[in-house]
Amino acid sequence: MLFDVAVIGAGVFGAWTAHHLRRAGLQVALADAYGAANSRASSGGESRIIRMGYGADEIYTRSAMRSLTLWQEFCHRTGQPLFHQTGVLWTAAERDLYTGNTRQTLAKCGAHFEVLSPADLKSQYPQMEFAPGTWGIFEPESGALMARRAVAAVVADAMRHGVAFLREAAAAPQGTGSLAAVRTASGGTGGAIRAGAFVFACGPWLPKLFPDLLAKRIAPTRQEAFFFGTPPGDPRFSPPAMPVWIDFSDPRGPYGFPDLENRGVKIALDQHGPPIDPDTADRVPSPDALAAARDCLGQRLPDLRDAPLVEARVCQYENTCNGDFLIDRHPDFANVWLVGGGSGHGFKHGPAVGEYAAARILQGGPVDPRYSLASKAVTQNRTVF
């Protein structure tokens, strides 16, 4: 079969791109080597934050606001509880520039937020410990997305509306010009997927498929998250008593989730780990990462200092040089698009990224410089958080 567009990669970017292309009336194939929301994927974790704050980066605040609307519409239409409106609490030292810029950008974009003084934090969140002078921003409409389930739901909905899902491993395209097909590993599709255009939304697999172009521009890193059990019958660590939180006063970049769906309190550090191969890496948590997470947990939630570890996840970021997404045409192929570089903050933006990518494919027009391949250097200097 000849498709209008084939999307390679069924993570959050690929799933939403296929969704928007199908809604535009195109015949779409969506392929993934391991299946939608698989355990190797960056989109395959339990939960992800959706928040509007991005310092001075208005492009991402507006993208997150658009995405939240689309996530909510999707949940309403499908009847699936994939979003928890826990609110998101930012905390920072008194003169933190990034959080100050976040406050200004949220106000400029019309996002709802509250500024919390040190006294406000202490009175509203007595189960949490804050360093002296810490202040906060609270986004009441933000919260957490149930990542693995959300991606699976978007893919299933796309299939109900006519997207063909193929569990296939696609080979890297060869040559230049206009690509007619990509080879597959199983031969179940006649050995190839044929389409008028191709979107490679392969997350940490992008530098493996396009090593000459992306091996130094997208760096997959190992990231670990831990879930700790809460005391029996204790509501202090569940919504609405506790929100999702992000701590900018700690250089380790800790962030956490309340006890969602009875899985425990989640904590992780927003620091880039060592390189990872998404195909072959063992997903066994490291003692050092666990110790660091437990230390942060004890500082922020002292009553959970000795809480039992009930679950752990090893996933990955796929970092571009500065944290900006990559959404651009391949320089060697007129009909091949690259969509990726989520860089640890991309999940929430899936609906808006898919909408943007579909519009570029369908309508043409310039790519935003922040998303362009040309803006991606080969050395890491992250500026987007």
pLDDT tens digits, the chain, 385 residues: what are they? 899 999 999 999 999 999 999 999 999 999 999 999 999 999 999 999 999 999 999 999 999 999 999 999 999 999 999 999 999 999 999 999 999 999 999 999 999 999 999 999 999 999 999 999 999 999 999 999 999 999 999 999 999 999 999 999 999 998 999 999 999 987 766 799 999 999 999 999 999 999 999 999 999 999 999 999 999 999 999 999 999 999 999 888 999 999 999 999 999 999 999 999 999 999 999 999 999 999 999 999 999 999 999 999 999 999 999 999 999 999 999 999 999 999 999 999 999 999 999 999 999 989 999 999 999 999 888 999 9
Q: What is the pLDDT of residue 240?
A: 97
Q: Are 97 and 153 in contact (CB under 8 A)?
A: no
Can you give the pTM of this predicted structure? 0.97
User: Under a CB-based contact definition with an 8 Å cutoff, are residues 145 and 347 in contact?
Assistant: yes
Cα 83 to Cα 79: distance, rounded to the nearest angstrom: 11
Cα 251 to Cα 115, 248, 255, 269, 270: the distances in Å are 22, 7, 11, 10, 9
Burial class of residue 19 in the structure, from the number of CB atoms within 10 Å of its CB (0-12 exposed, 13-18 middle, 19+ buried): buried
How far is the C-alpha of 27 from the C-alpha of 364, rounded, in Å? 18
Give start and end residues of each alpha helix (H) in 79-166: 97-109, 118-124, 147-160
CB atoms within 10 A of CB 20: 23
Give the pLDDT of residue 190. Answer: 79
* Cβ atoms of residues 359 and 365 within 8 Å: yes
Tell me how far apart the alpha carbons of residues 73 and 86 are, in angstroms, rounded to a whole number.
Answer: 18
The token pair at 325 is 């997404």
CA-based R_g, the chain, Å: 21
What integer pLDDT is reported at residue 146 of this predicted model?
Answer: 98
Q: Where are the domains of the chain?
A: 2-375
Cβ–Cβ < 8 Å for 68, 140: no
Q: At 2, which helix (H) or strand (E)?
A: strand 2-8
Provide the angle, in degrees to the nearest 10, between the axes of the packed helices 58-78 and 97-109. 60
Q: Where are the extended beta strands (E) located within 252-335?
A: 254-257, 265-269, 309-320, 326-329
Dihedral sign (CA 123, 127, 133, 134): negative
How far, in Å, CA of 36 to CA of 244, rounded? 26
Looking at 3.40.640.10, 3.30.9.10, 3.40.30.10, 3.30.70.1450, the CATH number of the domain 2-375 comes to 3.30.9.10
Q: Are 197 and 337 a contacting pair, CB within 8 Å?
A: yes
169 burial level (CB within 10 Å; 0-12, 13-18, 19+): middle
